[in-house]
A and B are shown apart, each in its own frame.
Chain A
Amino acid sequence: MIGFEKNNEMNVISIEGLRKSFNGNIALDGISMTVRRGDIYGFLGPNGAGKTTTLRIILGVLKADKGKISVLNNDLNSWGDKLRYKVNALPESHGFYGWMNAVDYLNFFGELYGMRLTKKDYQLRLSQVGLNPHNNLPVRTFSRGMKQRLGIARSMVNNPEILFLDEPTNGLDPRGRRDIHDLLVRLNEENDITIIISTHILDDVERLCNRIAILNHGKIRYEGILRSVSNEKNIRYRFLLDHEQTISTDWKIPGVTFVEIKDDQIICELKNISPADVIKAFIDSGVKIVEAQKITEGLEEMYFGYTGGKNQ
């Protein structure tokens, strides 16, 4: 599978052939993926697919058995502990020190990262995530939504370039979920943070992500652009090439975005160009098309398609 529009300078995370097993059980089976600067990248997959394991390896909490990981254009191993100043994460199960208040909690983590911030700075950060900055109550009295916001504020405490969020809206009510969506979009746009969201909640992905990867049984089943899937109901075309024909990855047709090239199959999105014009452009370039097919599917269908059917 080859994703288009790749530019190494834009990549903040590149993974090749990542493998990990626990006591002989394969958790990750040769994962390769690329996250670009400014992406809100959805990492989708059912429970146990290997999402959290992948994130933990990228964050340096787990060690991979095999594979090459580059973060911010440096090999993961060469970063050492310095990487921790550049990235941060909101793990799925993130407990709190219930006896601290929100400002103390942020201050504790700020100091761990060597940040020299004042109480006012932390109060400002709390208001940025929609928490009352003057609330002196201990964190144990917070609702789940408030804790989730505080967790996001904590994960932003070192001004990371890449933010990993593992199931950020799990257990939140619709209002809380919407607020977290708005907050993440704001963080992505205003602070230029690349966000990677691991989730199995498709609504989160549809609302937030521009690119996705679908993971199942430790393998990436799909990686590519998402925006058109949700916004335009995924009107894409699949072109089947004549036997043993290939096209160059830097090939461009105005109005055509290549989503995937796999063997003799090209999936692309068309904007202001008809399928007939695309076929003509292919033929003019010497590429013979044997079949053109309109693909209409939503993210849900796509997800089930790649993860093994609705009943699984």
Chain B
Amino acid sequence: MSSFYTLMKKECAEDILSFRSLLLFLFASVLMSIFAFLLISNKELSLLDNAHAIYMMIGIVLVLSSLIIIIQGSDSIAGERDRETLEVLLLSPIGSKGLILAKLGKIMISWLFLYVLAIPYLWAVGSIGQNLWPAIYILFITGTLLTLILSGISLIISAEMSTLKGALFISMVIFLLLVSPAVLGSSLRQTMVGRVFDFINPFMDALNSIDSVIIDSEKLNVQSYRLGIMVLYTIVMQGFLFGGLRRIKL
């Protein structure tokens, strides 16, 4: 346990509190500021009802956090391999599982950091309406599940790929595949293929759950099947991560 805590500390110092990481969070913060400012001040965007404005803001938060999670997950093991620090870590008592757990812990902290960072922006956009609190809790639930899924995917890729470049490339392709329905027109998403893709895509399950809770003001339990799919993805990904990667290759 103490070695896990030690590695977590190092991970956080390296990937959350380092100058490079703080710049990344600053970039995310600036982007959210610009978007929040546009939603409030832009004539056309400010005409959106409060629910739509919050939904769009949450969408931005989810895309940004997914991107950061994918980058951190891809770097986690392939990056250590590239920097030639993996072998000394694997030689230590932390072992493969402890290493993965610490990396996952760091990613979860990153997500919570971004989540807390996003709350003032959600408040700025949605404080005048009634959707602020539902937005805050649905973002937490879907964001946490999405973080567990994406971190699982990117950590598996990171462990299996021999270079950081390769791991990042494949993770990015998967990320683009997951967010691609969001940029498709609604008519395309209403087709049979579009619906199936929406249904099995955890990112779209998260967005659709948020849409239903915030825009349609539905109860969370109405979304249980979508959240169920996300939970299933989480179990499968974490199962693969901890069950399949008993010995990380050098």
Binding site for B on A (CB under 8 A): 56, 59, 61-63, 81, 84-85, 88-89, 91, 93-97, 99, 108-109, 111-114, 154
Which of B84, B90, B91 is packed against the most chain A CB atoms within 10 Å? B91
Whether B93 contacts A84 by the Cβ 8 Å rule is: yes
Which of A56, A84, A96, A112 is within 8 Å of B7, CB to CB? A112
Interface members, chain B 158-183 (any A CB < 8 Å): none
Whether B250 contacts A61 by the Cβ 8 Å rule is: yes
Whether A59 contacts B91 by the Cβ 8 Å rule is: yes
Size range of the chain B interface in the assembly = 20 to 34
Bound Cα distance A114, B4 (Å): 10
B191 at the interface (CB under 8 A from A): no
Report the minimal beta-carbon distance from B227 to chain A, rounded to whole angstroms.
37
| Chain A proximity mask over B1-45: 1 for CB below 8 Å, otherwise 0 | 011001100100010001000000000000000000000000000
Given contacts A95-B85, A114-B3, A63 and B247 within 8 Å (CB-CB): yes
B134 at the interface (CB under 8 A from A): no
Interface members, chain B 45-99 (any A CB < 8 Å): 83-85, 87-95
Whether B87 contacts A112 by the Cβ 8 Å rule is: no
- A88 contacts across to B, CB distance below 8 A: 91
- A93 contacts across to B, CB distance below 8 A: 84, 87
Which of B18, B89, B93 is within 8 Å of A81, CB to CB? B93
Whether A111 contacts B91 by the Cβ 8 Å rule is: no
Whether B7 contacts A94 by the Cβ 8 Å rule is: no
Whether A97 contacts B85 by the Cβ 8 Å rule is: yes
Given contacts A56-B250, A61-B250, A109 and B18 within 8 Å (CB-CB): no
Bound Cα distance A81, B95 (Å): 7
- B247 contacts across to A, CB distance below 8 A: 63
What are 22 A-B contacts with C-beta separation under 8 Å?
A61-B90, A61-B250, A62-B250, A81-B93, A81-B95, A89-B88, A91-B88, A94-B85, A94-B88, A95-B84, A95-B85, A95-B88, A97-B14, A97-B85, A108-B10, A111-B2, A111-B6, A112-B6, A112-B7, A113-B3, A114-B2, A114-B3
- Determine the residue in chain B with the shortest Cβ distance to A83: B93
Report the minimal beta-carbon distance from A51 to chain B, rounded to whole angstroms.
15
A-B contact count (CB 8 A): 58
- B89 contacts across to A, CB distance below 8 A: 112
- Determine the residue in chain A with the shortest Cβ distance to B7: A112
- A154 contacts across to B, CB distance below 8 A: 88
- B90 contacts across to A, CB distance below 8 A: 61
Bound Cα distance A96, B85 (Å): 6
Given contacts A96-B85, A99-B18, A89 and B91 within 8 Å (CB-CB): yes
Report the minimal beta-carbon distance from A57 to chain B, rounded to whole angstroms.
12
Bound Cα distance A62, B96 (Å): 12
Report the minimal beta-carbon distance from A116 to chain B, rounded to whole angstroms.
9
Which of B93, B247, B250 is packed against the most chain A CB atoms within 10 Å? B93
Closest 10 CB pairs of A and B: A95-B84, A111-B6, A95-B85, A112-B92, A93-B84, A95-B83, A91-B87, A84-B93, A112-B3, A112-B6
Given contacts A56-B250, A63-B247, A112 and B85 within 8 Å (CB-CB): no
Report the minimal beta-carbon distance from B159 to chain A, rounded to whole angstroms.
14
Bound Cα distance A114, B3 (Å): 7
**Chain B binding site: helix, strand, loop or mixed by DSSP?**
helix
Whether B95 contacts A108 by the Cβ 8 Å rule is: no
- B85 contacts across to A, CB distance below 8 A: 94-97
Report the minimal beta-carbon distance from B2 to chain A, rounded to whole angstroms.
6
- A81 contacts across to B, CB distance below 8 A: 93, 95
Bound Cα distance A139, B87 (Å): 18
Report the minimal beta-carbon distance from B17 to chain A, rounded to whole angstroms.
11
Which of B3, B14, B250 is within 8 Å of A111, CB to CB? B3
Bound Cα distance A95, B88 (Å): 8
Given contacts A96-B85, A97-B10, A84 and B2 within 8 Å (CB-CB): no
Report the minimal beta-carbon distance from A84 to chain B, rounded to whole angstroms.
5
- A111 contacts across to B, CB distance below 8 A: 2-3, 6
- B18 contacts across to A, CB distance below 8 A: 99
- Determine the residue in chain A with the shortest Cβ distance to B88: A94
| Chain A proximity mask over B86-123: 1 for CB below 8 Å, otherwise 0 | 01111111110000000000000000000000000000
Bound Cα distance A31, B95 (Å): 26
Bound Cα distance A67, B26 (Å): 54
Whether B14 contacts A84 by the Cβ 8 Å rule is: no
Bound Cα distance A24, B100 (Å): 29
Bound Cα distance A96, B80 (Å): 10
- A113 contacts across to B, CB distance below 8 A: 3, 92-93
- Determine the residue in chain A with the shortest Cβ distance to B80: A95
Bound Cα distance A95, B83 (Å): 6
- Determine the residue in chain B with the shortest Cβ distance to A94: B88
- B92 contacts across to A, CB distance below 8 A: 84, 109, 112-113
Report the minimal beta-carbon distance from B92 to chain A, rounded to whole angstroms.
4
Whether B88 contacts A109 by the Cβ 8 Å rule is: yes
Bound Cα distance A85, B91 (Å): 10
Bound Cα distance A16, B79 (Å): 36
- Determine the residue in chain B with the shortest Cβ distance to A80: B95
Bound Cα distance A145, B214 (Å): 61
- B7 contacts across to A, CB distance below 8 A: 112
- A96 contacts across to B, CB distance below 8 A: 85
